[in-house]
Chains A and B, each alone.
Chain A
Amino acid sequence: MSVDLDIRGVDHRYGRGGPPVLRDVSLRVAAGTVTTVLGPSGGGKSTLLSVVAGLETPTGGDVHIDGESVLRVPPAQRGLALVLQQPHLFPHMSVGENVTFGLAARGVDRATRTAEAARWLEMVELDGMADRRPRELSGGEQQRVALVRALASEPRLLLLDEPLASLDPLVRAGLQTLLGRLIAETGVTAVMVTHDRTEAMLLGDRTALLIDGRLAAHGPPQDLFRRPPTREAARFMGVTTFIDGTVREGRLLTSAGPLVVDALPTSGEVTVAIRPEHVVLGDRAGTNRMDGVVAACAFHGEFWDFVVDTPLGAIRARGDRPRASGETVTVGLPPGHLFPLGAVEPESD
């Protein structure tokens, strides 16, 4: 059974007089959807999950599950499941007992539990491992057990706190796909905390950006990626070039001259931004072209990353071949890829 989650103006600080960890966070997660909570370390993401799980009592605000406040409901009765970065499997129990711990807590009989353990373990390709001890499994296998332990308890709401962060990239990629499939098959409402942009966009129906305890943005991941609403949100989404100017006669007047921008407000002071992969270098540069000098060049495997000094300031760009520092290069800023900040307000519903 999937449920709505409604976080209403939650504030939290650890201890009296401690710094605020969550500040007036409001977030609504519709039944059967996945919301990924993205943000830098220390931004309050895990605290938000702890508050929803009932492991922390917020200093302000309220949490509603399926329309009812759960602030006074103990964690055991909230009908949730929580998967953490480390699997935290019960070391003294077999894998099968771990998987069905939540069912045992509800008094489900042993025969049913055994059958359920086998069914769930088969779903994550761990068939025949029910009698093993957690220490006999690899890190990836342990995390798969942790996932099905959470899902086997038939939670109303699945909370995932960076569940794949401690795994190596190959195992992680496989588990991302598996996690997406399991959530889709069960239809459970899920909130997943991550600091990995790709993971957040891959798994989330919606993404919430939490920075310094505040909800900096919330919306479909594609929108957040293409049009992050604020400078700090844009930075976290990988945007590094910001250009300040004034809108006049449909163009952006900057310190280095006018720029053509497709989606400009009608007037006023505006900051526009552009993603590094959208900046064009060399002869292909069209509109908004200018000369620049390569200040830095670094190899990232799939691309070369450049910092180019231009009349508009330092602009970050990508290319498919190296360029020497000091090389003069033509830089183009396509009007369709320049976007004004503040165009999408963070949702607080």
Chain B
Amino acid sequence: MTAMSRRAGGAAGWAVLLALAGMPLIALTTQALATGWFFPDLVPGEWTLDAVRRIADDPRTRSAFLEGLRVSGLATLMAMCLAVPAARALAIGRPRGARWMALGFLVPTVLPPVALAMGLNVALLRTGLAGGVWSVAVAHLVVTLPYAVLILTAALTRYDPALERQAAVLGAGPGMILTRVFLPVAGPAIATTAALAFVVSWSQYLLTLLPGGGRITTMPVLVLAASAGGNPTAAAALALAAAVPPALAILLVVRRLDTLTTGRHG
């Protein structure tokens, strides 16, 4: 591939990215700051910060934020606790039937979200776990874990297990190998995967509403409620606010994203 065709490919990629991510964001921002924006006006007639101020002052927004951070933090933590050993086994240990095991992790992602949420809700109700932060976090685990395992497995296939053999022969025990070799070398890939798992969890609506029994309100739940209530300006302002934590999570690891694709560690 020549340098010119590479540059052209890069420009096309950025154009598609802008169209996919930038345009909805512009429309959402415009909606959040508009009053009286009616068809066929290209831009709103009036601009105001009222909706933004209202949602910023609303204690329900703050509560939904904190609830979302708790749920998604927990779901991410649990997902990573399971994903790291699973991905390690799949990528380094290459157990028999690894391909089928990887396929098994994908099953929840192919089920329709409604069916998944209802099924989980029934299971959680039967076990008496429904209605709390933990039950919602467990429900989120069903979608975060597959992504986390698959992304991390792909990243860890480039991890060099000979480093651990070297460390072992040089006298390092399992604890030292974990803390001085595996975690520092695979850490960037683990952090990036965790950020992506957090993003997946943060955006869950049905898997929050049903297992939470209506008692757990996160930002997507609030956005949907505002949207259903016929207040597009408030919904847009809430949606923008809801996009902040995932954006921050991605920004935190954006410099590490290449650890998932190029095998660069540390």
Chain A positions within 8 Å of B, measured between CB atoms, are 53-55, 74-82, 84, 86, 88, 90-92, 101-102, 104-106, 149-150, 153, 159
B266 A92 Cβ-Cβ under 8 A: yes
Docked CA distance A79–B169 (Å) = 8
A92 B160 Cβ-Cβ under 8 A: no
Q: A91-B185, A92-B266 are in contact. Are A76 and B168 (CB under 8 A)?
A: yes
A86 B162 Cβ-Cβ under 8 A: yes
Q: Chain B: how many interface residues by the 8 Å CB criterion?
A: 19
Total residue contacts A-B, CB cutoff 8 A: 64
In the complex, how many angstroms separate the beta carbon of B170 from the nearest chain A beta carbon?
4
Docked CA distance A82–B162 (Å) = 11
B266 A91 Cβ-Cβ under 8 A: yes
Docked CA distance A76–B170 (Å) = 6
Chain B positions within 8 Å of A, measured between CB atoms, are 160, 162-163, 165-173, 176, 180-181, 184-185, 265-266
B170 A81 Cβ-Cβ under 8 A: yes
In the complex, how many angstroms separate the beta carbon of B86 from the nearest chain A beta carbon?
23
11 A/B residue pairs, CB under 8 Å, sorted by A: A55-B165, A75-B168, A77-B171, A78-B169, A84-B162, A88-B163, A90-B163, A90-B181, A101-B172, A153-B171, A159-B169
Question: Cβ of A76: which chain B residues have Cβ within 8 Å of it?
Answer: 168-173
Docked CA distance A84–B168 (Å) = 14
Beyond A92-B266, A105-B171, 7 additional contacts (C-beta under 8 Å) are A77-B171, A81-B170, A82-B166, A88-B166, A90-B185, A91-B185, A91-B265
B170 A102 Cβ-Cβ under 8 A: yes
- Set B171, B181, B185, B265: member contacting A106, Cβ < 8 A: B171
A105 B162 Cβ-Cβ under 8 A: no
A105 B176 Cβ-Cβ under 8 A: yes
B185 A92 Cβ-Cβ under 8 A: yes
A81 B266 Cβ-Cβ under 8 A: no
A153 B185 Cβ-Cβ under 8 A: no
Question: Cβ of B180: which chain A residues have Cβ within 8 Å of it?
Answer: 90, 101, 104
Docked CA distance A149–B169 (Å) = 11
Q: Is the interface of B mostly helix, strand, loop or mixed?
A: helix
In the complex, how many angstroms separate the beta carbon of A83 from the nearest chain B beta carbon?
9
Docked CA distance A74–B173 (Å) = 9
B266 A105 Cβ-Cβ under 8 A: no
In the complex, how many angstroms separate the beta carbon of A115 from the nearest chain B beta carbon?
19
Which 6 residue pairs of A and B lie closest in terms of their CB atoms, listed nearest first?
A: A92-B266, A105-B171, A102-B170, A82-B169, A92-B184, A75-B168
Most A-side CB within 10 Å, residue of B162, B173, B176, B181? B162
Q: Which residue of B lies closest to A74 (CB)?
A: B168
In the complex, how many angstroms separate the beta carbon of B22 from the nearest chain A beta carbon?
36
- Set B160, B162, B170, B265: member contacting A101, Cβ < 8 A: B170
Docked CA distance A78–B180 (Å) = 20
In the complex, how many angstroms separate the beta carbon of B261 from the nearest chain A beta carbon?
17
Q: Which residue of A lies closest to B169 (CB)?
A: A82
Docked CA distance A82–B165 (Å) = 9
Question: Cβ of A105: which chain B residues have Cβ within 8 Å of it?
Answer: 167, 170-173, 176
Q: Which residue of B lies closest to A84 (CB)?
A: B162
Question: Cβ of B171: which chain A residues have Cβ within 8 Å of it?
Answer: 76-77, 79, 102, 105-106, 153
Question: Cβ of A84: which chain B residues have Cβ within 8 Å of it?
Answer: 162, 166
B176 A92 Cβ-Cβ under 8 A: no
Docked CA distance A84–B170 (Å) = 13
A75 B169 Cβ-Cβ under 8 A: yes
In the complex, how many angstroms separate the beta carbon of B237 from the nearest chain A beta carbon?
43
In the complex, how many angstroms separate the beta carbon of B213 from the nearest chain A beta carbon?
45
Docked CA distance A255–B35 (Å) = 109
B181 A53 Cβ-Cβ under 8 A: no
Question: Cβ of B173: which chain A residues have Cβ within 8 Å of it?
Answer: 76, 105
Q: Which residue of A lies closest to B186 (CB)?
A: A92
Question: Cβ of B160: which chain A residues have Cβ within 8 Å of it?
Answer: 88
Docked CA distance A4–B44 (Å) = 87
Docked CA distance A74–B164 (Å) = 13
Docked CA distance A105–B167 (Å) = 9
In the complex, how many angstroms separate the beta carbon of A349 from the nearest chain B beta carbon?
26
Docked CA distance A101–B172 (Å) = 8
Most A-side CB within 10 Å, residue of B160, B162, B168, B173? B168
In the complex, how many angstroms separate the beta carbon of B42 from the nearest chain A beta carbon?
52
Question: Cβ of A54: which chain B residues have Cβ within 8 Å of it?
Answer: 169
In the complex, how many angstroms separate the beta carbon of B190 from the nearest chain A beta carbon?
13
Docked CA distance A79–B168 (Å) = 10
Docked CA distance A78–B170 (Å) = 9
Most B-side CB within 10 Å, residue of A54, A76, A153? A76
Docked CA distance A75–B166 (Å) = 10
Question: Cβ of B165: which chain A residues have Cβ within 8 Å of it?
Answer: 53, 55, 75, 82
Most A-side CB within 10 Å, residue of B170, B172, B185, B265? B170
Docked CA distance A54–B169 (Å) = 8
Docked CA distance A321–B60 (Å) = 95
Docked CA distance A84–B165 (Å) = 10
In the complex, how many angstroms separate the beta carbon of A153 from the nearest chain B beta carbon?
5
B169 A101 Cβ-Cβ under 8 A: no
Question: Cβ of A86: which chain B residues have Cβ within 8 Å of it?
Answer: 162
